[in-house]
Amino acid sequence: MPDLVVLHYTAMDCAERARDWLCTPKAEVSAHYVVGADGTVWQLVDEADRAWHAGAGRWGPVTDVNSRSIGIEISNTGTTPFAAAQMDAVEALLSGILARHRIPPDRVIGHSDMAPGRKIDPGRRFDWQRLARQGLSIWPTPEGDGSFTDNARTFGYTADVPCEVILHSMRLRFRPGATGPLDSTDRALMANLAQRWPVAAT
């Protein structure tokens, strides 16, 4: 039974080409869904079946993310905004998935969250705040303090990577455009994430 949803971008400029690649055995990758820029949704793998979209990484105590998650590939190169029709389709798709599997919005994560330092998708152009306003993801407020590293692990960033790598992944999602060393806003955001949405222990 899936209890995570992982969002990706295809890093390709053609949704059909990405879809076809994901259906090719030699690709050795797959996903449950592909969402085109025009809002077209293709289901490639049944939600009850495992897809090979996550690769190496972890979220909280989960080290085999593929076996616990539904993967959604969103057609985008990573450098352009996500189209309105596409975001509408992502929202409708997520709403159904979360309802069917009783997945809470804090279990919707980016590929960059579970594989920091290795993956950056869905990237800084993806509108996570829009999803949060619809109750399909989460968005923190900069309230709190404490150890950035400890709070990051409590929230779910448990990959064995340096603090600056976790910082980069957190900023991609929750503070796009921020640069420079760890600061008080980063610490406050992570403290709020850890307090409001601590990752499940199992």
Distance CA 57, CA 158 (A): 9
The DSSP secondary structure of 51-64, one letter per residue, reads ---S-S--BTTBS-
Give the Cα-Cα-Cα angle 35, 136, 96 (nearest 5 degrees): 60
Residues with catalytic function: 73
Distance CA 11, CA 28 (A): 16
Element holding 9 (H helix, E strand): strand 4-9
